[in-house]
């Protein structure tokens, strides 16, 4: 498989025309030349801290200029960037800082006030201003070196860090820029969190194409509409819950017509949503995509095919090889369900300091796959049709996907149980048109009015996308013959309760 030579990610500012716009934010406009200068000075500020090569630099920020530049600046300083979702609460931030062994946390003063003693590991410096120092020029670093750790929820336990190399990020940017057909004339509205793999790629793929990024922290759909109009946005990436909000918003016809490209990730589009988006944004190409952080992105559906195949996830993106594999490791026939396996240079380096989970998910590709080497075994069941298009069948693990966020049931269950109001709890995701899935907790209470207490506490401890939508209270939870909780039976209880 042919793919371009990768470089370290901090070379991106050199790819755009010097005087062209690279970043448009509340502080003004950065040209590519100014982007290069700002990255060089931020890298100099990090270098002045005299950290060990490969030390982790965490950012817990909204979409500030520092948040946008740090992935490049940390790379140039020979460090590893760890973006933390700004929606996370202190306990979750503390876990990521501790697990990654962060040497520096770049955040805001108001956020440090939310942290408790012990949340920041010993030896981790907290900076409430972006580092600044003598400029550092881009060098000839190793593309296979670790560049970033992105934390994503696992099917059990706390979030795990996916290790991404410079080559992973560089080739992911080339791939997306290529199949989206991005150009220097494009302006991409970056509404997805920069801690999300595609959120970060919004920056990289746009700069790879020489286009401009407009970062936006939005509160309402109206904010997005205004930004599209104000900045002449051509490209918008979103997740299904955002599309639902945007379809409910009022769009002046001329504003809707500005959009040339809509890209979906973080959950499947329903056929009804595809039709609604095609009607509202008739001038825009609609790209449906499937991916997982461990390999960034696996498939996309050509916009020319989406009207006739709204349920398909398409075929492999550039530089990815995907296959449908039977349980015995052989290739599945057309129409036969099997596990989606992704091989090629976009495959991540594994999970940070977690050899056991790395060995379970990252395994050698089947001998008959062309790429060979290490592959990501997704745990997702898909099937390829006679038309060559892949279609999603189901998720083998118990992950929930709410508003584009992958959420561990265990993490929600631990939070529900932590306050002493509940003695047992199981969290499941049930279909929800607005969010993709709604978190439903089936639980046995320990105190009176347990639900009110749990809801009030979780509002303080968990981000909005991890808040359970429904509670189902039972006298006892079903168990199987081994004495373990029977999650299939629990799901049935939840489904029946929510329907009634």
Q: Are 470 and 386 within one domain?
A: no
Distance CA 103, CA 369 (A): 40
Higher-pLDDT residue of 493, 271: 493
In 10 A of CB 359, how many CB atoms?
A: 11
Rounded CA separation 425/428 (Å):
10
What is the tens place of the pLDDT at every residue in 46-76?
999 999 999 999 999 999 999 999 999 999 9
Assigned domain for 1 exists? no
Q: Do 462 and 336 belong to one domain?
A: no
pLDDT at 1: 61
DSSP state letter for 9: G
Place of tokens 């700004």: 86
Same domain (yes/no): 352, 406: no
Reduced to 3 states (helix: H, G, I; strand: E, B; else coil), residue 427 is strand
User: What are the tens digits of pLDDT across the range 390-402?
Assistant: 998 876 667 788 9
Q: Are residues 335 and 186 in the same domain?
A: yes
Closest residue by Cα to residue 477 from 490, 468, 488: 490
- Asked if the structure places residue 197 within a domain, the reply is yes
pTM greater than 0.85: yes
> What does the pLDDT look like over 265-291, one tens digit per residue?
887 788 888 999 999 999 999 999 998
Q: How many domains does the chain have?
A: 2
CATH classification of the domain holding 483: 3.30.300.30
* 36 and 177 assigned to the same domain: yes
Judged on CB neighbours under 10 Å (0-12, 13-18, 19+), 218 is middle
Shared domain for 253 and 283, answered yes or no, is: yes
Strand partners of residue 23:
30, 213
Report if residue 258 sits inside a domain: yes
Shared domain for 480 and 387, answered yes or no, is no
Whether 384 and 421 map to the same domain: the answer is no
| CATH number of the domain that residue 95 is part of | 3.40.50.12780
Query: Do 276 and 314 have their domain in common?
Result: yes
Tell whether 190 is covered by a domain: yes
Q: How confident is the model at residue 215 (pLDDT cuts 50, 70, 90)?
A: very high
Contact 313, 391 (CB under 8 A): yes
Q: Please tell me whether residues 406 and 382 are part of one structural domain.
A: no
Q: Is residue 2 part of a domain?
A: no
pLDDT digits 0-9 by tens, 117-162: 999 999 999 999 999 999 999 999 999 999 999 998 644 457 899 9
270 and 309 housed in the same domain: yes
Residue 386 has pLDDT above 90, yes or no: yes
Is 311 found in the same domain as 454? no
- CA separation for the pair 160, 293 (Å, rounded): 11
Expressed as residue numbers, the domain containing 491 is 400-499
Q: Which of 326, 361, 392 is the last residue of a domain?
A: 392
């Amino acid at each position: 498989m042919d793919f371009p030579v990768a470089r370290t990610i901090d070379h991106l500012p050199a790819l755009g025309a010097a005087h062209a716009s690279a970043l448009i934010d509340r502080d003004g406009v950065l040209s590519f030349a100014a982007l290069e200068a700002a990255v060089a000075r931020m890298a100099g500020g990090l270098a002045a801290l005299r950290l060990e090569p490969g030390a982790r630099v965490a950012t817990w920020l909204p979409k500030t200029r520092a948040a946008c530049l740090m992935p490049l600046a940390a790379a140039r300083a020979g460090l590893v960037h760890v973006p933390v979702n700004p929606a996370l609460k202190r306990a979750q931030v503390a876990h990521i800082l501790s697990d990654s062994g962060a040497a520096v946390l770049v955040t805001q003063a108001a956020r440090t006030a939310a942290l408790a003693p012990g949340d920041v590991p010993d030896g981790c410096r907290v900076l409430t201003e972006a580092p600044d120092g003598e400029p550092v020029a881009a060098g000839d670093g190793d593309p296979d070196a670790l560049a970033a750790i992105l934390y994503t929820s696992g099917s059990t336990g706390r979030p795990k860090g996916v290790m991404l190399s410079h080559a992973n990020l560089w080739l992911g940017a080339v791939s997306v820029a290529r199949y989206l057909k991005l150009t220097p004339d494009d302006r991409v509205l970056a509404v997805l969190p920069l801690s999300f793999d595609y959120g970060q790629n919004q920056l990289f793929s746009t700069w790879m194409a020489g286009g401009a990024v407009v970062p936006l922290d939005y509160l309402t759909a109206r904010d997005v509409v205004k930004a599209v109009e104000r900045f002449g946005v051509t490209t918008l990436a979103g997740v299904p819950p955002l599309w639902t909000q945007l379809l409910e918003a009022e769009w002046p016809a001329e504003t809707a017509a500005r959009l040339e490209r809509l890209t979906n990730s973080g959950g499947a589009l329903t056929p009804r949503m595809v039709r609604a988006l095609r009607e509202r944004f008739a001038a825009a190409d609609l790209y449906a995509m499937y991916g997982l952080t461990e390999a960034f992105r696996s498939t996309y559906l050509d916009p020319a095919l989406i009207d006739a195949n709204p349920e398909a996830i398409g075929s492999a993106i550039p530089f990815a090889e995907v296959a449908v594999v039977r349980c015995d490791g052989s290739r599945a026939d057309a129409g036969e369900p099997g596990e989606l396996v992704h091989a090629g240079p976009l495959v991540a380096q594994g999970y940070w300091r977690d050899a056991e989970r790395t060995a379970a998910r990252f395994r050698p590709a089947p001998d008959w796959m062309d790429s060979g080497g290490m592959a990501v075994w997704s745990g997702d069941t898909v099937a390829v049709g006679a038309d060559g298009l892949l279609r999603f069948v189901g998720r083998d693990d118990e992950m929930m996907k709410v508003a584009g966020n992958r959420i561990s049931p265990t993490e929600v269950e631990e939070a529900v149980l932590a306050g002493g109001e509940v003695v047992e709890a199981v969290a499941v995701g049930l279909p929800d048109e607005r969010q993709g899935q709604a978190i439903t907790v089936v639980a046995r209470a320990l105190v009176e009015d347990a639900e009110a207490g749990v809801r009030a506490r979780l509002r303080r401890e968990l981000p909005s996308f991890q808040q359970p939508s429904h509670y189902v209270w039972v006298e006892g939870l079903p168990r199987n013959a081994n004495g373990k909780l029977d999650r299939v039976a629990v799901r049935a209880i939840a489904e029946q309760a929510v329907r009634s």
